[in-house]
Structure 1
Amino acid sequence: MQINFPKEVPEYSGRELTLAFPAMVDGERVECMITAEALEDHFGAASPRIEDMLGAFSTHRERIEAATRRLLSETGAQCVVLRSGYVRFYEANWRA
C-alpha cells in the first residue's frame, strides 16, 4: 500500500472540532481527520481555535502523517479519524 500526503492546508471544522486533510492511498484520495483533543494532548495546540490547531498541525505534520499512515494501513485505507488515544498508543508502540 502506497500512502502519500498532499501538502494542502487542512480544512477546519468548528462544529466537529477537527482538521481534515487528504491522503493518497494507491492513487485514491482518502479524507483523514485529526481531533482538537489529539492536537492539544500530543501536538501542543493551546485551544481548539483554528489558529492554534493549524499551527500545531503545521509544526508536527510529519508525526501526524506517520500516525495516520499507520492507521490507514491498519484499517485498509478507510477514512480515518486520528484521536488522542490512538496517537498515545501509536507513539508508545511504533514511533521510531
Structure 2
Amino acid sequence: MIISFPQQVPAHCGRSLMLIFPTVVDGERIERRVSAEALGDHFGAASLREEDLLAAFEAHRDKIEGAARRLLRAFGRKPVLMHSGYFRFCE
C-alpha cells in the first residue's frame, strides 16, 4: 500500500466540527477526517474556529498523517473520523 499526503490546506467542516484532508492510496484520492475535539485535546487548537483548527493541524501535520497512515494500514480505505480517543491510545 503506497500512501501519500498532498500538502494542501485541509477543508473545514464547521457543521461537523472537523477538518478533511486529502490522502492518496495506491493512486486513489481518499479523504481523511480529524475531529475538532482531537485537535483541541491533543494538538493545542485554541478554539473551534477554523483558523485555530488549521493552525493546530499544520503544527502537528506529521503526527496526524502518521495516525492516518496507521489507520489505513489497519482498516483499509474505509472512511474514518479520527476522534480524540484514538489519539489518546496511539500516543
TM range (shorter): over 0.9
Partner letter of residue 69 of structure 1?
Answer: R
Q: Secondary structure at the match of 1:41?
A: helix
* Structure 2 residues without counterparts, runs of 5 or longer: none
1:80 Cα deviation from its structure 2 partner: 1.7
- Tell me what 1:94 maps to: none
The two structures, once aligned, show a CA RMSD in angstroms of: 0.7
Normalising by structure 2, we get a TM-score of 0.96
Identity rate of aligned residues, in percent? Answer: 57
Normalising by structure 1, we get a TM-score of 0.91
Contact 1:30 1:78 in 2 (8 A): no
State the aligned residue count. Answer: 91
Alpha-carbon deviations, 1:22-69, whole Å to 9, x = none?
A: 100111111111000000000000111001000000000000000111
Distance (Å, rounded) in 1 between the aligned partners of 2:87 and 2:12:
19
Q: Once superposed, which parts of structure 1, at least 4 consecutive aligned residues long, lie more than 2 Å away?
A: none
